[in-house]
Structure 1
């Protein structure tokens, strides 16, 4: 069974919508009377369901990190920096690179080239 939706609890709904639209190519879908905004990616994959956080919910404390597959982590991070998205240090591990940041509600995100690494078990 595929994973199709991920719920993110956010403090600033509009800032978070703008963040994922600007930096990761999502587009917002809103239903009248629904407080959840669904972000759909033109590249496919899971949708992000942005849900307003409860007043007592702590911001940015999570056991989940969103990871976006990008072939060139350095180039993506450099483009993001020009548009106000600051990533931490570039890390390299086992044939791929990744860098971390947070969305406007403090949710951890990462860009990673892991999906594009050469699998040593592949024949040919």
Structure 2
């Protein structure tokens, strides 16, 4: 069975986008462009490749949203704001919360505590 391993993100400024995911979401990268891509590795196993966007590519459309598991949403937002990453209002759902922001190219990025919710019936 195939498994999802890598997301490719098209960016106007590859270095800026790589730095965004490194700084705010702890991806490891050398920042080096190899074969036209900057590779970012995560401890979770899903990696990101940053690819140079063609001028014809319309960035920031809401067709895909990257969602990161974060247990303490408020703490993560506080730390992120100290680094210049601003989120909107926290949304509360069935036993979890989530919040949204954008990456440098306007792509939707979410943090969610859904994975950590306590479901008891």
Report TM bin, short chain: over 0.9
Q: Structure 1 segments of 4 or more deviating over 6 A?
A: none
Shift of 1:59: 1.6
Superposition RMSD in Å: 1.5
Q: Distance in 2 between matches of 1:33 and 1:93?
A: 41
**Aligned 8 A contact 1:99 1:112 in 2:** yes
Gaps of 5+ in 2: none
Q: Distance in 2 between matches of 1:103 and 1:70?
A: 17
Gaps of 5+ in 1: none
With the length of structure 2 as denominator, give the TM-score of the two structures.
0.92
* 1:76 equivalent in structure 2: 76
With the length of structure 1 as denominator, give the TM-score of the two structures.
0.90
* 1:15 equivalent in structure 2: 16
* 1:112 equivalent in structure 2: 112
Q: Distance in 1 between matches of 2:66 and 2:9?
A: 10
Structure in which a larger fraction of residues adopt strand: 1
Gap change, CA 1:31 and 1:18, over 3 Å in 2: closer
- Whether 1:24 and 2:13 are equivalent positions in the alignment is no
